[in-house]
Amino acid sequence: MGVCEEYQKLRLKIEEYIRCDVAQGFSPDSKKLHMLKNILIVGGTSGVGLELAKMYHKLGHTVIIAGRKNPDVESITYVNFVISANTHQTIENLDIMLDTLPNIHTLIYAAGFYQEGHIDNLKDTDILQMINVGLLVPTLLVQRLKNNEGKPLAVMLITSSSQYTPREFEPVYTATKAGLGMLGDSVSLDPDIGKVLVAAPSGMKTPFWESHNKDTSEFLDPSWVAEQIIDVSNGPFKYRYAHILKNPSRVEIIQTRQ
């Protein structure tokens, strides 16, 4: 069954729930139904992206996650999407994926991987893959989804504390995170784009660190981070930028623009 067919099945299920409410004497909340969204989470197969997918699904939204590995979460649609150093192939993969999707109301970009080393120790393919994952693909996603029938497109970009912290051994990683944050800030000025949230969490206990010798004992719980992201995404605004910090765990709203 394709993604569009699964989407239609889920919508029919929601409508059936509403008919049951009416039969039991409850008034359907048409406003709530209207607010249910189709949410695409790229990088939603693990970490904070997966936690966001689970939480938004519980809230009744139709959630589609895209990434390399299927996390096999019941009632959440998975589509395979591989981002590599091969830019041409990555763009082709992107367009194939988008062709399978229903209208998208909200794009959440949470894809990323850690990369360490002085600039001259990184191979060309290392740099290309980081740029493709960190900046090219989210840029193309906003470009392609802006005028889809789910518009105005809401955009949520998950960056990192590396967005605003220079680090000797993360030259390309920090550059892409800073660029991703500026992408969000800039597209929020477009009157045809919906709400834009840029959330920059500190280190989290995720598979992100599995191949690196990092002490993650004081890192943030991705489930808690997801809760904070959903919380700061609520309310009326055109653009919001938030730091999600550790030691102690807290959220700082850096900027909100109406």
Mean pLDDT of the chain: 89
Radius of gyration of the chain measured on its C-alpha atoms: 19
**What are the extents of the domains in the chain?**
1-28, 37-257
What topology is assigned to 37-257 in CATH? Rossmann fold (3.40.50)
- Determine the Cα–Cα distance for residues 26 and 3; give it in Å rounded to an integer: 31
- pLDDT tens column, 151-188: 999 999 999 999 999 999 999 999 999 999 999 999 99
Q: Do the beta carbons of residue 79 and residue 101 sit within 8 Å?
A: yes
pLDDT of residue 34: 52
pLDDT score of 73 more than 70: yes
Comparison of pLDDT for 206 and 3, the residue scoring more? 206
pLDDT of residue 58: 96
Give the number of residues written for the chain. 258
pLDDT score of 19 more than 60: no
Q: Do the beta carbons of residue 157 and residue 184 sit within 8 Å?
A: yes
- For residue 83, give the amino acid letter: I
Q: How confident is the model at residue 199 (pLDDT cuts 50, 70, 90)?
A: very high
pLDDT score of 84 more than 90: yes
CA–centroid distance for 72 within its chain? 18
pLDDT score of 257 more than 50: yes
CB neighbour list of residue 155: distance below 8 Å, 6 or more residues apart: 106, 107, 109, 142, 184, 187, 188, 193, 194, 195, 196, 197
pLDDT score of 220 more than 80: yes
CB neighbour list of residue 61: distance below 8 Å, 6 or more residues apart: 36, 37, 38, 39
Residue range 11-23: mean pLDDT, rounded: 45
Q: How confident is the model at residue 78 (pLDDT cuts 50, 70, 90)?
A: very high
Comparison of pLDDT for 205 and 32, the residue scoring more? 205
Q: Where does the chain show beta strands of DSSP type E?
A: 38-42, 62-67, 77-80, 106-109, 154-158, 196-201, 239-245, 250-257
Residue range 193-218: mean pLDDT, rounded: 82
Residue range 91-114: mean pLDDT, rounded: 96
- Determine the Cα–Cα distance for residues 46 and 66; give it in Å rounded to an integer: 10
- Determine the Cα–Cα distance for residues 166 and 103; give it in Å rounded to an integer: 38
pLDDT of residue 20: 42
Task: Kindly tell me the burial class for residue 95, based on how many C-beta atoms sit within 10 Å of its own C-beta (0-12, 13-18, 19 or more).
Answer: exposed
pLDDT score of 2 more than 70: no
